[in-house]
């Protein structure tokens, strides 16, 4: 029996109080970061390989189903606005289609053809990198897609929550985060899902910092999507350049240029900075 399917170490859950349930869930959640800590070297190797592909004009594709697949979609949705990147750079192949994100099409995880079909429609090539996501490490949708990647010379990585998984065997850069039995037996939306969210955060954030989309600790390429972000961008530029003291002047420059990085370059060109 897969580790993620083994019985919970907690029983008689229906007899527990609210305080007992949230205490025990919190105790289990605290083990997730420690499980990830054990595989940071493996995760780092995978991120290094992805960075190499992106620097050479390639793209990254998450490939997943269920909780992991949906979390990867949520990850990529944020990236173009947060870091000002082309949406094509980091994409998702979700079983059942990204357009059906809110539908629980769990039967699609058994489809062995869709993942590769979507990748070929997006003209995947050995310049790209595919990351498979699966709590079980056996999901047919992900496994079949990674097999095709291997056959076609496309580098791939994966992160799963069971040891010695079939998906890991078809991955150039496997990461096995052993989170153990779930609080509710077999409910991998819990600890496994938490680990998947954390790893997606680590992958995308690390990559985009490495690719120059952050300076210091600031989102200098953030898109001006609302008034809050405009205000944050104005204050960011003024903090980076204390000689700028006119808020409205800086705001006008940022709105015209599109982000902090471009406004700063523009003001330097004009001799203001």
| CA 138 – CA 1 distance, rounded (Å) | 12
Chain-centre distance of CA 236, in angstroms? 26
Active site residues: 78, 109
Which uninterrupted H or E stretch holds 131?
Answer: strand 129-134
Give the Å distances, CA to CA, from 192 to 80, 135, 254. Answer: 26, 6, 41
Give the bridge partners for 219, in sequence order.
Answer: none
Asked if residue 47 lies in contact with residue 204, where contact means CB atoms within 8 angstroms, the answer is no
SS3 155: coil
Helix residue ranges, H only, the chain = 18-37, 40-55, 66-83, 114-121, 140-151, 166-169, 191-210, 227-240, 247-257, 260-269
Residue of 108, 176, 170, 172 whose CA lies nearest to 136 = 176
């Amino acid at each position: 029996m897969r580790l993620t399917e083994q019985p919970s170490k907690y029983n008689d859950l229906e007899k527990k109080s609210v305080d007992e349930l949230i205490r025990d869930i919190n105790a289990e959640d605290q083990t997730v970061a420690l499980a990830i800590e054990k595989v940071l070297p493996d995760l780092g190797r995978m991120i290094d390989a992805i960075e190499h592909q992106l620097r050479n004009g390639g793209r990254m594709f998450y490939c997943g189903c269920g909780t992991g697949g949906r979390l990867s979609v949520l990850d990529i949705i944020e990236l173009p606005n947060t870091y000002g990147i082309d949406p094509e750079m980091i994409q998702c192949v979700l079983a059942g289609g990204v357009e059906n994100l809110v539908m629980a099409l769990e039967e699609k995880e058994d489809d062995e053809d869709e993942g590769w079909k979507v990748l070929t429609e997006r003209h995947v090539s050995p310049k790209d990198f595919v990351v498979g996501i699966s709590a079980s490490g056996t999901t047919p949708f992900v496994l079949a897609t990674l097999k095709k990647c291997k056959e076609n010379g496309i580098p791939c990585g994966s992160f799963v929550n069971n040891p010695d998984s079939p998906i890991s065997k078809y991955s150039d850069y496997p990461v096995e985060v052993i989170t153990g039995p779930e609080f509710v037996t077999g409910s991998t939306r819990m600890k496994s899902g938490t680990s998947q969210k954390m790893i997606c955060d680590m992958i995308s954030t690390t990559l985009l910092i490495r690719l120059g989309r952050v300076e210091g600790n600031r989102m200098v390429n953030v898109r001006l999507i609302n008034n809050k972000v405009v205000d944050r961008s104005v204050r960011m530029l003024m903090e980076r350049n204390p000689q700028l003291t006119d808020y409205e002047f800086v705001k006008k420059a940022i709105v015209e240029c599109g982000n902090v990085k471009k406004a700063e370059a523009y003001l330097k060109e004009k001799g203001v900075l």
